[in-house]
Amino acid sequence: MTSLIVIVVLALIGVYVSWRAGRLDRLHARLEAARFALDAALVRRSSVALELASSGLLDPATSVLLAGAAHDARAAQTARELPESDLTRALRAVFSQPEFRASLSGVQDAQELLAELEGASHQVFLARKFYNDAVAATQAARRRWLARALRLAGNAAMPEFFEIDDSLVPAGEDDQEADMPHLTT
Amino acid sequence: MRVGLVCPYTWDVPGGVQEHVRGLADALIDLGHYVSVIAPANEDEPMEPSYVVPAGRAVAVPYNGSVARLAFGFLSASRVRRWLKEGDFDVVHVHEPAAPSLSLLACWVFDGPLVATVHTAMPRSRVLHVSAPILQSALEKISGRIAVSEAARTTLVEHLGGDAVLIPNGVSVRRFEKADPLPGWPADGGTLGFLGRIDEPRKGLSVLLEAFKLLAVERPGLRLLVAGPGDADEALEQLPAALRGRVVMLGQVSDEDKVRVYHSVDVFCAPNTGGESFGIVLAEAMAAGAPIVASDLDAFRRVLRGGRAGELFENGNPADLAAAAARMLDDPVRRATLAAAALVAVRDYDWQVVARDVLRVYQAVAPAAGRVAAAAL
């Protein structure tokens, strides 16, 4: 009788542990997908910025500024947060010029490229938000005593937040309470 | 000659390029030429001196690893265009043409004799590599290129092709010759001086602080006067608490106070560990008649006439710096001899001399206007 109870309890514990492990596994899968999406969004943003810089639509000073920032962002393998923030700041400086849109209104291809860059910036904002969300969830799950005691996460490195400045609205001018960044029009 | 100078960096922030443009402008005016300078600055602020024309808003942007305040964009371009039209210049001289600011815009919109001076050495700069195609079309209009150092020339040749003539930085000897020491300086027990960014390792303040540790033990009255931007508390952490009170950190100082700093020290130290293409600070100290101890970088060795116009010590060696400074502190006659030699040597770098070399470049690219100007030489 006692042995039966022991077996049942052990089986229940086994089911519970494997359920926790499975949950952690799913969280890691979600994290991987989010990381992939974030990486793609960042690469796309710097590519479009570089395309705008070399398009000849802007004056050479603005082009050099954008090209430098976009290149640094794309070339960074580790420690990407600073160059990506710098790219955001460069974009913000370029787009927040008074009448910037108006100055390009008659130019072929310009509106298309600006819209693409705006879209890519939105994508970075969203992808980063979802990635950090996944990081927070994974970190919380892995800090549980069971996950730590049984090393349910295996050798996977503890995920870290990706903190960059990705707001395209200059600080202090955030008049709309919207969550999405917008390039000034 | 009607000369238009373009400065890419904000006028109200001290910097090597701004200093250079100002020195050149003053010297050209002294030589009888008309000069107008355009620089990023807000238009509602009065500009000093009066030959400076503000180009409108300067924006803080990340550039080449730090944050610079630059003017770019179509509005700045139209300001430059208007300034060029009103100035009707014989020659336009842009500074640091590869920086994404007014100089590049001036190259873009100006059709006429263009001279450019490259200041910064950026070895194997990836930023320049990426932007080379963009720069090419604007920079190929430049007919006379000047580099302030061999390193700057190499950067130019590597990234943008073409060659440049070497004309070093000038120093306004006149501005530094005479000034009152700051009140209470120099200290009775001897004063060492330093000027430059305190948190830039290549300026070598930490080497000087180590040397100060060695010297301070035997010289209870010795003090150190430091002028330059950066985090003072962080820099002082290197010293034992007992010595910190003997180091005075002035922070960023005005142009006037900078001159007074050179006049407030018994020995001026230039412990730079590298990256200094010319050492404008060294030339200023020489012009102010300060006895100098400097690291034995090639450029410093050359400026100090191989040691005849100032003591040289082994680069990066605090003990050697301490020994050299001690020799100077103990020997007033040697200090006076070296300072006098420095005053003679620095004449070669006086803007009055350097500006004539620059004028020759102007005449080479704008021969018609140069003929009139030759009379003024």
Does A134 reside within a domain?
Answer: yes
Of A62, A68, A93, the CB nearest to B130: A68
pLDDT at B373: 47
Q: How confident is the model at residue A180 (pLDDT cuts 50, 70, 90)?
A: low
Q: Is A81 on the interface with B (CB under 8 A)?
A: no
Does A154 reside within a domain?
Answer: no
Q: How confident is the model at residue A45 (pLDDT cuts 50, 70, 90)?
A: very high
Residue in B closest to A98 by C-alpha: B75
What digits encode the pLDDT tens for the residues A16-36?
A: 888 888 888 888 899 999 999
Residue B249 has pLDDT above 80, yes or no: yes
Cross-chain residue pair A72–B127, CB shorter than 8 Å: yes
Does A179 reside within a domain?
Answer: no
Distance from C-alpha of B215 to C-alpha of B321, rounded to nearest angstrom: 10
What digits encode the pLDDT tens for the residues B313-334?
A: 999 999 999 999 999 999 999 9
pLDDT at B374: 47
pLDDT at A185: 45
Cross-chain residue pair B135–A94, CB shorter than 8 Å: no
- Residue B301 host element (H or E): helix B298-303
What digits encode the pLDDT tens for the residues B140-165?
A: 888 899 998 887 888 888 777 778 88
Does A168 reside within a domain?
Answer: no
Which ipTM did the prediction report? 0.72
What digits encode the pLDDT tens for the residues B182-197?
A: 888 887 888 999 998 8
Q: Give the range of the structural domain holding residue A66, as residue numbers without chain letter.
A: 20-149
Q: Which of A164-173, B124-133, B304-313 has the highest mean pLDDT?
A: B304-313
pLDDT at A106: 78
Q: Is A14 on the interface with B (CB under 8 A)?
A: no
Q: What residues of chain A lie within 8 A of the CB of B138, using their CB?
A: 60
Q: Is B134 on the interface with A (CB under 8 A)?
A: yes
Distance from C-alpha of B356 to C-alpha of B344, rounded to nearest angstrom: 19
What digits encode the pLDDT tens for the residues B197-245?
A: 888 888 889 899 999 999 988 888 899 999 988 888 888 888 888 888 8
Cross-chain residue pair B61–A65, CB shorter than 8 Å: yes
Pairs of CB atoms within 8 A across A/B: 89
Pairing of strands B144-147, B165-166: parallel
- Flag the least confident range among A36-40, A179-183, B177-181, B341-345: A179-183
Closest Cα to residue A118, out of A184, A23, A68?
A: A184
Q: What residues of chain B lie within 8 A of the CB of A72, using their CB?
A: 126-127
What digits encode the pLDDT tens for the residues B262-274?
A: 999 999 999 988 7
Q: Is B205 on the interface with A (CB under 8 A)?
A: no
Residues above pLDDT 70, as percent of chain B: 94
Q: What residues of chain B lie within 8 A of the CB of A53, using their CB?
A: 131, 134
Cross-chain residue pair B100–A63, CB shorter than 8 Å: yes
Residue in A closest to B63 by C-alpha: A65
Q: How confident is the model at residue A173 (pLDDT cuts 50, 70, 90)?
A: low
Residue B126 has pLDDT above 70, yes or no: no
Q: Is B114 on the interface with A (CB under 8 A)?
A: no
What digits encode the pLDDT tens for the residues B54-85?
A: 888 788 888 877 778 888 888 899 999 999 99
CATH code: domain of residue A32: 1.20.1440
Does A74 reside within a domain?
Answer: yes
Closest Cα to residue B61, out of B5, B9, B136, B125?
A: B9
Residue B127 has pLDDT above 70, yes or no: no
Phi-psi region of B94 (alpha: psi -120 to 50; beta: other; left: phi over 0): beta
Q: Is B138 on the interface with A (CB under 8 A)?
A: yes
Residue A49, classed as helix, strand or coil, is helix
Total domains, chain A: 1
pLDDT at A172: 53
Q: How confident is the model at residue A128 (pLDDT cuts 50, 70, 90)?
A: very high
Does A1 reside within a domain?
Answer: no
Does A167 reside within a domain?
Answer: no
Burial class (CB in 10 A: 0-12, 13-18, 19+), A19: exposed
Residue in A closest to B96 by C-alpha: A61
Q: Is B297 on the interface with A (CB under 8 A)?
A: no
Distance from C-alpha of B143 to C-alpha of B121, rounded to nearest angstrom: 21
Residue B344 has pLDDT above 70, yes or no: yes
Longest dimension (CA), chain B: 66
What domains are defined for chain B? 2-170+350-374 (3.40.50.2000), 174-349 (3.40.50.2000)
Assess contact for B1 and B373: CB atoms under 8 A: yes
Does A155 reside within a domain?
Answer: no
The tokens of B75 are what?
């509005």
Residue B88 has pLDDT above 90, yes or no: yes
Q: How far is B251 from chain A (nearest CA, A)?
A: 28
